[in-house]
Amino acid sequence: MNNIIKSNFGSISPYLDEEVADVIESLIEDKVFHQVISHQIYPSLLNLIPSFSSILFKRNFKKSFGRSKSIKDFQDNLAPYVGQMIEKTTDGFTYSGVKNLSTKPTLYISNHRDIALDSLFLNFARYLEGMPTVRIAIGDNLLDSSFFEKIMRLNKSFVVHRNIKGAKETLKKLSNLSRYIDHSLNKDKESIWIAQLEGRANDGNDFTDPAVLKMLYLAARKNTDINSWIKQVNLTPVSISYEYDPLDITKAIGWEGWEDLSYEENNKRDLSELVKGIKESKGRVHLHIGKNITESVEDIENLAELIDREIITNYKLWPSNYISAHALGLIDTKINFEGKENLFLNRFKDLDQTTLEKALEMYAAPLENLKKRLDT
């Protein structure tokens, strides 16, 4: 089975258990890895003895992960650090829909707000419930063939190619990705997390891109009708919401001119945003595991609508959503503000009016989309 994965999916798949020890050893000896991460973890040490922070990180990394011989070992050793991150950067993580978790291999389709944390919170919830973690779809823009790629692949990430050139190459890579996901679910019995659209919902609108669903169904469409496929993969929507988005101002400003940057410059920008999302305050975070799709659908577009319904109606609304909608004149009454209006709006005090409105619209969108859905 491992030979099949390597020969057919080696360029996109996570590491296999037998690769873990060598990858961990390479990270233990990677001075760039030690320097970059230690600067994030021990910034106060930089002005004292700069090299000491790298030495300290190397020692602690080896102590925590040096004996990992499998992906499960690595993730079990990582879990306490995830717990510490949640304790330090959130005002509480909650999750619901536990009854919808299944021992059956499941295709989770989630809204997408944070580069790394959306899938991490699902994995942590499954870990707390004593269930195996899922394989995670990530864009190849995040993979730089260095220590970061190794960490992601140790954490069961697989590659989704973006910006593919030419129709023939696009079909080839999308078909291979679809076959890999099908193989993971049906042969490896490994659940999958994938976002409902390519990239984050930077405007706050959580709508499923039918192209994602077409890719997922691609490997099965010749032999399985769409409704049988939906049941086969136990398709389950996931909705995650953050009270505060550490990158809200970045998203409101946008990325004008990114097309003119080199691959390396864009990669550096993406990794910087990933670190910021992990390190900075998120307020409260809630994850809901939705009901698996059981209704019959007519086509892919109809399926996208059902996924959207489940994600939007189960999105946990916070004071930040109501405050933003009120500031934009979308609602009249000050409900569910919890006395946080001034504190929340103060985070945007230095923005010009246009950028401020974009930031508020991002937070107001989930409330507006829920209202529209309830009105139909």
Q: pLDDT value at position 142?
A: 72
Q: Is beta strand 157-160 parallel, antiparallel or unpaired with respect to 135-139?
A: parallel
Q: How many residues does the chain have?
A: 376
pTM higher than 0.85 for the full model? yes
Q: pLDDT value at position 145?
A: 63
Asked if residue 138 is part of any domain, the answer here is: yes
Residue 260's domain comprises 71-293
Q: pLDDT value at position 148?
A: 85
Q: pLDDT value at position 68?
A: 97
Residues 82, 177: one domain?
yes
Q: Choose one of 230, 258, 293: the last residue of a domain.
A: 293
Work out the pLDDT band at 362, boundaries 50, 70, 90.
Answer: very high
Asked if residue 42 is part of any domain, the answer here is: no
Residue 86 scores a pLDDT above 60: yes
Task: Flag the least confident range among 102-116, 139-153, 211-225, 231-245.
Answer: 139-153
Distance CA 239, CA 352 (A): 31
Residues 189, 261: one domain?
yes
Q: Choose one of 249, 278, 293: the last residue of a domain.
A: 293
Residues 353, 240: one domain?
no
Kind plus residue range of the DSSP H or E element containing 269: helix 263-279
Residues 367, 239: one domain?
no
Instruction: Give the count of domains, the chain.
Output: 2
Q: Is beta strand 192-195 parallel, antiparallel or unpaired with respect to 107-110?
A: parallel
Q: pLDDT value at position 35?
A: 86
Q: pLDDT value at position 274?
A: 87
Work out the pLDDT band at 4, boundaries 50, 70, 90.
Answer: low
Q: Choose one of 293, 311, 331: the last residue of a domain.
A: 293
Residue 210 scores a pLDDT above 90: yes
Q: pLDDT value at position 287?
A: 98
Residues 81, 148: one domain?
yes
Residues 240, 118: one domain?
yes
Where do the H-state alpha helices sit in 95-146?
117-128
- 3-class state of residue 160 by DSSP: strand
Q: pLDDT value at position 37?
A: 85
Task: Flag the least confident range among 200-204, 248-252, 266-270.
Answer: 266-270
Residues 130, 222: one domain?
yes
Asked if residue 82 is part of any domain, the answer here is: yes
What does R_g of the chain's alpha carbons equal in angstroms? 21
Residues 187, 267: one domain?
yes
Strand order in the sheet with 285-289: 93-96, 285-289, 236-242, 107-110, 192-195, 135-139, 157-160
303-351 pLDDT, tens digit each:
999 999 999 999 999 999 999 999 999 999 888 899 999 999 999 999 9
Residues 203, 345: one domain?
no
Residues 222, 328: one domain?
no
Residue 7 scores a pLDDT above 60: no
Residues 346, 214: one domain?
no
- 3-class state of residue 321 by DSSP: helix
Asked if residue 14 is part of any domain, the answer here is: no
Residues 6+ apart with CB under 8 A from 43: none
Q: pLDDT value at position 255?
A: 77
Residues 282, 328: one domain?
no
Whose tokens are 């499923």? That residue is 208
Asked if residue 4 is part of any domain, the answer here is: no
Work out the pLDDT band at 371, boundaries 50, 70, 90.
Answer: very high
Asked if residue 11 is part of any domain, the answer here is: no
Mean pLDDT taken over the chain: 91
Asked if residue 56 is part of any domain, the answer here is: no
Kind plus residue range of the DSSP H or E element containing 138: strand 135-139
- 3-class state of residue 113 by DSSP: coil
Q: pLDDT value at position 6?
A: 55
Q: pLDDT value at position 340?
A: 95
Q: pLDDT value at position 44?
A: 65
The answer to whether the CB of 57 falls within 8 A of the CB of 34 is yes
Residue 1 scores a pLDDT above 60: no
Of the two residues 210 and 375, the one the predictor is more confident about is 210
Q: pLDDT value at position 49?
A: 63
8-51 pLDDT, tens digit each:
676 789 999 999 999 999 999 999 889 888 877 776 665 666 67
Asked if residue 275 is part of any domain, the answer here is: yes
Work out the pLDDT band at 292, boundaries 50, 70, 90.
Answer: very high
Q: What are phi and psi of 102, to 5 degrees?
A: -135, 150
